[in-house]
Amino acid sequence: MIVGGMSGIMGGTIGIEEVKVMILKNKFPICEFDTSKEPLIHPANFLAKSLPEKCVITFFRKELDQFVAENNLSVIGYLNSEVLDMPVYEYVYGEERLCITMAFCGAPGAAVTLEELHAMGCEKFIICGGAGALAKNSKVGEIIIPVSAVRDEGTSYHYLEPSREVECHKETAEIVVSCLEQMGIPFTTGKTWTSDAIYRETPDMIALRRNEGCITVEMEAAAFFAVSQYYHIPLAQLLYAGDDVSGEVWDSRNWNMQKNIRYNLIATAIELVKKL
């Protein structure tokens, strides 16, 4: 059954007929939501469970290549696309193993990556990547644990009903915070702004997001969190403060050349995922 507006569902009393609604209609397509969990295509339709339970996802290709070479990791699978195939590597520690791979960029790519890895057997995730810094006093390399994300992208709206923010998996975030404290690694927790348009981060929008509490901007967290919530997947993310977008002019701070920071973040993510 389709209704003509969302106001009766999102606020006020929910009637008997409204409970049966499958598609929540809205003036704007991005705010329409189908409550059904039976899509036409499941990744499990064409992917077999072959990967370890624990997985690290990174966006640092060069540093991952270095880590793979130094630890002689073997390829145990691929994330396939028409543009690029992403290898999935096996990391063995003691009698256990985990896998490490990269994600496709942007919110849609993040969701597809998580969907397919989950279909192939991964159940617990730690993600590491970079983000633009919105805080005026941030330092390049500062580690951020995003506990929520402003949903200024489109992908999360296909997994969760419309809302302003989506939270990170609470229990996993708490484990990450506790482990980082035990490891003596400094970090900050906070809210991130997930955007689809890297070249539409205007000064006024940056100020708006900063005023609502965002300390970083990136392009995937809200999608990761939404898919995690949809499937009840334990997941948390490590971001490092990269370029500075808090001032009147952009400062790259050579964020993509911070090789040691990026390499260490991968190593840290591996130690954290072992604890899940």
CA distance 247 to 134: 8
- pTM value is 0.90
Work out the pLDDT band at 148, boundaries 50, 70, 90.
Answer: very high
- In sequence order, the 6+-apart residues with CB closer than 8 A to the CB of 5 are 25, 26, 27
208 located within any domain = yes
Could you give the number of structural domains in the chain? 1
98 located within any domain = yes
Q: Tens of pLDDT along 120-144?
A: 999 999 999 999 899 888 888 899 9
Q: Tens of pLDDT along 54-113?
A: 999 999 999 999 999 999 999 999 999 999 999 999 999 999 999 999 999 999 999 999
pLDDT at 256: 66
> Chain-centre distance of CA 92, in angstroms?
24
Helix, strand or coil for residue 64? Answer: helix
**CB of 59 closer than 8 Å to CB of 105:** yes
CA distance 222 to 209: 14
pLDDT at 21: 56
Write the CATH number for 211: 3.40.50.1580
| Two tokens, residue 53 | 């339970």
CA dihedral (187, 139, 107, 194) in degrees, to 10, reads 90
CA distance 223 to 118: 14
Q: Tens of pLDDT along 162-175?
A: 999 999 999 999 99
| Two tokens, residue 187 | 């970090």
Domain that holds residue 158: 47-274
218 located within any domain = yes
CA dihedral (267, 146, 174, 262) in degrees, to 10, reads 10
Work out the pLDDT band at 15, boundaries 50, 70, 90.
Answer: very low
Instruction: Describe the crossing of helices 61-71 and 259-274 by its angle, rounded to 10 degrees.
Output: 60
16 located within any domain = no
144 located within any domain = yes
